[in-house]
Amino acid sequence: MPELPEVEVSRLGISPHLQHQTVVKVIARQRQLRWWIPDEVITLTQQPILAISRRAKYLLLTLPTGSIIIHLGMSGHLKVVPTTLPAEKHDHIDIVLSNGMSLRLNDTRRFGAVLWQANEQEHPLLALLGPEPLTEAFTVDTLVQACAKRSAAMKLVLMDNKVVVGVGNIYANEALFKAGIAPQKPANQVSFAQLSLLTTVVKETLAAAIVQGGTTLRDFSQVDGKPGYFKQELLVYGRGGLPCVSCAQPLQEIRLGQRSTVFCRHCQC
């Protein structure tokens, strides 16, 4: 599943094409994605795009009457194409723009979503989200408070969107390695110093991934079709059994929360 850097890269990629444009209409070839695309989206017409933003892993296109919410799901990706370009098999929805281009969602598995948020309302999917990791809202104090009474594995707490949004499996593995924290360690046993370092490396790791263009996943590419280039710099994710880059001991791979978790028993405690 695309993680926060991939979604941010998508936002950066589509923004120049959508700024100062008007949504002429919406074409839905398949309305049943993860959820049914609501009528409020399908009936949009002649609505100027006021902003293109991101909340966690959701993209928001703000219009005068509300916002289109887009989630890429497991395999979705966005592309900006001429409206006249014939749709491919899994091109499910076009947001037709006034410049003759369309924002097109391709989603092979149909686990993505296109939803609607009316003005002065907050969609239930967004209502309980925690702070954005790349903002000043995410601090060591907020992380300490979240961990204080929780005995769950530190990795699972870090991936909890109520604690901090957008730290998915890949970047949780990477950040915990850089902070020297064992992923299975109970969150309430992690020291203040470790949590302080973890807060810093989460920000640094996500920011670096955005600059590099997002992590290349099997089903992910940027809006322009070019893959991301951050995967080559991953230190632990996907490297189970290989030598640790710090101590050369074999990296361990276990399952936590049904997700692959790779770490170094020597460097992380």
SS (H, E, C) 16-73: HHHCCCEEEEEEECCCECCCECCHHHHCCCCEECCEEEEECCEEEEEECCEEEEEECC
Which long-range CB contacts under 8 A does 31-34 form with residues at least 24 apart? 32/110, 33/73, 33/92, 33/107, 33/110, 33/111, 33/112, 33/113, 33/114, 34/71, 34/73, 34/110, 34/111, 34/112, 34/113
| Binding-site positions | 90, 109, 150
Q: Please pick, among 54, 55, 57, 104, the residue that the annotation labels catalytic.
A: 57
Q: In angstroms, rounded to a whole number, what is the distance separating the alpha carbons of residues 109 and 97?
A: 26
Q: Please pick, among 31, 34, 231, 259, the residue that the annotation labels catalytic.
A: 259
Question: What's the mean pLDDT when you consider all of the chain?
Answer: 93
Domain with CATH 1.10.8.50 in the chain: 140-263
243 is a catalytic site residue: no
| Binding-site positions for DNA | 90, 109, 150
Q: Please pick, among 2, 5, 133, 183, the residue that the annotation labels catalytic.
A: 2
57 is a catalytic site residue: yes
pLDDT for the residue 216: 53
pLDDT for the residue 232: 58
Encode pLDDT of 20-38 as tens digits.
Answer: 999 999 999 999 999 999 9
Which of 3-17, 163-177, 191-205 is predicted least confidently?
Answer: 3-17
82 is a catalytic site residue: no
Q: Please pick, among 3, 6, 8, 174, the residue that the annotation labels catalytic.
A: 3
- pLDDT band, very low/low/confident/very high, at 212 (cuts 50, 70, 90): confident
- pLDDT band, very low/low/confident/very high, at 223 (cuts 50, 70, 90): low
Domain with CATH 3.20.190.10 in the chain: 4-127
233 is a catalytic site residue: no
Encode pLDDT of 62-95 as tens digits.
Answer: 999 999 999 999 888 899 999 999 999 999 999 9
Class of the CATH domain delimited by 4-127: alpha beta
CATH of domain 140-263: 1.10.8.50
